[in-house]
Structure 1
Amino acid sequence: MSASLETIQLPHLPSSLAAHAALYKDVQNSSYLRQQLLSANTEFEYAFIDASMILSRAHALSAVFRAANDYLNGRLKSRNVHSEIVFSLSPTNNIADSFRKFGIADTTSRLLVVKISVTPDITHESVAAHLEQNVQGSQIPFDDATLSEISDVTKIKKAYKLGSLPSAAPNQTNGTPGNAKKQLELSVLGAISLRGAT
């Protein structure tokens, strides 16, 4: 199954502010990537997200949109737009906690990487080349089918305090699994959009 870096134009944002996203499994060098982030290496300004904490494409892109919108409006609460994406996944205002729950860890094997074109030199080609050189893992499609195979619904529900919602069980009939997943997704998206709302 081959996949490549995807460039996404987010609605209601300038086309120059494109998002480049790639999803990986079997990542071997997460500790190295995390170290580059911690040392504030500008070449590694990416949102490195633990993909097991992502329920769906809409879940990830809602955080990307929120961070990009806050960047455009001068409302960033973290170091840059990429760290803001990880922070935007969190239902709380605790930045350190959001990185612990949603960011890359030394043991992360499933990784979603997002880069925003905040300068003209950040292009599809430059991001693809840099990731190819620096991420040791297998690229997989950034779509709902793939995410549903790798997301850890129990951990996601715990992070968003949604323990009372049903989990989608594969052996149910009448389309119930889809309904349960949709309900969970809507609750997660609601938690993201409500955080910090005044």
Structure 2
Amino acid sequence: MESYILPNFPREFSSIHLCLFQNVTNSASLRARLVEAATMEGEQGDRARDEMDYGFVEASMALQAASTGNLKTRTVHSEVLLALHPSNNIADAIKRFGISATTKTLLLVRIGSPIGSDDSSAESSQESVDAYQQTLVDKMAELVEGDMVPLHELPETSDWKAIKKLYKLHEISLPGTSDADDKRILEANMLNTLSTKVVA
């Protein structure tokens, strides 16, 4: 798991934890639990939503929306999915970036305060931060049946054909000097698409 502190955001959104899993075997049950948690009511529903309170991949646009109170979706984690999609269609964003019954590679994102509490008065000693991060790693590993791998392995699992189609990158002229250079150009164009969506 990799963790990042973003001091320019409110405390309750200032910590991002990313954990990459490959060879995931329980995608269908995770998706079912997500759907069930979203519809449950009362304390049982609150507990179920807390257990499944994760999102997928990039979160910077979602954090901005949450910190200003301008979420377009119900949670900051579903906002992550919307931020990844080139349009503002949340249903399509969930379809494209959300977990499906056939997901084999899964990136969990947890956004919250550095020690797991939304209490802005709570002190964040390094010990409490480390303890929270270890608890979070344990919960993620317990939740997902798969191999936890370093985050730097994420590019190796990318489906560039699908990415090019979704972001309409197939029309971009690439120099063809190397695969790595071509991917950097495609990534830059994809990020431009997402950046302009936010200001449009």
Fold match by TM threshold 0.5? yes
**Higher-RCO chain (CA-CA 8 Å, sequence separation at least 6):** 1
- 4+ aligned runs moved over 6 Å, structure 1: none
**In structure 2, what is the equivalent of residue 33 of structure 1?**
30
**In structure 2, what is the equivalent of residue 94 of structure 1?**
89
Distance 1:37 1:154 in 2: 28
The aligned runs of 1:26-175 (5 Å cut-off) are 26-39=23-36, 40=38, 41-42=48-49, 43-47=51-55, 49=56, 60=57, 63-118=58-113, 120-121=115-116, 123-143=132-152, 146-165=153-172, 175=177
Distance 2:146 2:22 in 1: 6
**Counterpart residue type for residue 180 of structure 1:** D
TM-score (norm 1): 0.80
What displacement does 1:32 show?
1.2
Q: Secondary structure at the match of 2:135?
A: helix
**Counterpart residue type for residue 70 of structure 1:** A
What displacement does 1:178 show?
2.4
Distance 1:130 1:100 in 2: 25
Q: Provide, for residues 73-117 of structure 1, a one-character-per-residue CA deviation record: whole Å limited to 9, x for no partner.
A: 001111100111111100101000001111111100001000011
| Gapped regions of structure 2 (runs ≥ 5) | 39-47, 118-131
Q: Secondary structure at the match of 2:59?
A: helix
The structure number with the bigger radius of gyration is 2
| Gapped regions of structure 1 (runs ≥ 5) | 50-59
What displacement does 1:14 show?
4.8
TM-score (norm 2): 0.79
- Higher relative helix content: 2
8 Å Cα contact 1:153/1:167 also seen in 2:
no
Q: CA RMSD in A?
A: 2.2
